[in-house]
Amino acid sequence: MMRCALFVVASILLSMFAAQSFAAESLDESIKYLLDYVANSNATFIRNGQTHTPQEAVNHIKAKYEHFKGEIKTPADFIRLSASSPITSLFHP
């Protein structure tokens, strides 16, 4: 009986760990996809009134991502914090 209970607990913990690993991998894959999409776009990005290439935009987004990495749990968080608002607007209401 004890062995069965330990097996069930171990199975639950393993399932939780696997789900968390998959979620983290999924987030990383989503972020990579979004950055690749921007990098390969045929768009001109405008920031502070100046035009930028897709690669310059990716570099800027990556810098913001590093700044907010601890707060980013979903692709929507990544877009909201790294790819949409200027950092200064996030600190000034």
Q: What is the block-wise mean pLDDT of the chain (93 residues), using blocks of 10 residues?
A: 47 49 75 94 86 92 94 92 65 38
Contacts of 1 (CB under 8 A, 6+ apart): none
Where in the chain are the domains?
A: 25-91
Q: What pLDDT, on a 0 to 100 scale, did the predictor assign at position 46?
A: 85
Contacts of 9 (CB under 8 A, 6+ apart): none
Place of tokens 């980013």: 72
End-to-end CA gap in the chain = 59
Q: What pLDDT, on a 0 to 100 scale, did the predictor assign at position 44?
A: 87
Residue 17 phi, psi (nearest 5): -65, -45
Q: What pLDDT, on a 0 to 100 scale, did the predictor assign at position 72?
A: 94
State which amino acid sits at residue 10. A
Q: What pLDDT, on a 0 to 100 scale, did the predictor assign at position 48?
A: 82
Q: What pLDDT, on a 0 to 100 scale, did the predictor assign at position 11?
A: 46
Q: What pLDDT, on a 0 to 100 scale, did the predictor assign at position 71?
A: 95
Q: What pLDDT, on a 0 to 100 scale, did the predictor assign at position 93?
A: 38
Contacts of 87 (CB under 8 A, 6+ apart): 64, 67
The Cα 60–Cα 39 span in angstroms is 11
